[in-house]
Amino acid sequence: MGVYKEFGEKKGNMSVHEQWLQKLKLFPGNLQLPPPTLIELGLEYIEIVEGQKMVATVPFQKKFTNPLGLYQGGILSACVDEVFGPLSYLSAKGPCVTLSMNMTFLGSFKEEMGQCVIEAVVLKQTKNFIFLRGEVRTKEGELIAHSESHVKIL
């Protein structure tokens, strides 16, 4: 089991984010790395514990706001999925598909927050399925959303 990260610190010459992209290149298949959604959303992975947990930061981007100027909930859900995806891939050591994902919002991601932090953990893994939980928090630790996802290992 690999552990990368020291929040924002580099390990050798590579950040945690660069390390996970490098690791994924070792898996078989025709993976597009980094995925276009990752680039567009601006996520940066800051902690990875293979098979257990991934943490990423998400910058506030005005282009993803609703008419109230708040980060649009569907886009924030996509950010959470952008953490669930590689966590399940690393856990299964191969591709997975999402069977369900539920998102509950307790607050809003506002411009003055600058960024938020998404932490996803594996609750349970069986031969065929992975059960995940994610939390979206402000930099100060306030919970603004949480999510659960069930994925099928291919």
Rounded to an integer, what distance in angstroms lies between the CA atom of residue 24 and that of residue 90?
8
Global pTM value: 0.88
Q: What are the pLDDT digits (tens) for 57-84?
A: 999 999 999 999 999 999 999 999 999 9
110, 146 Cβ separation under 8 angstroms: no
**Which whole number is the average pLDDT over 4-26?**
68
Rounded to an integer, what distance in angstroms lies between the CA atom of residue 31 and that of residue 25?
7
What homologous superfamily does CATH list for 3-153? Answer: Hotdog Thioesterase (3.10.129.10)
Nearest 5°: the CA angle 72, 73, 74 is 95
Q: What are the pLDDT digits (tens) for 92-148?
A: 988 999 999 999 999 999 999 999 999 999 999 999 999 999 999 999 999 999 999
Residue 148's nearest CA partner among 52, 95, 80, 66 is 80
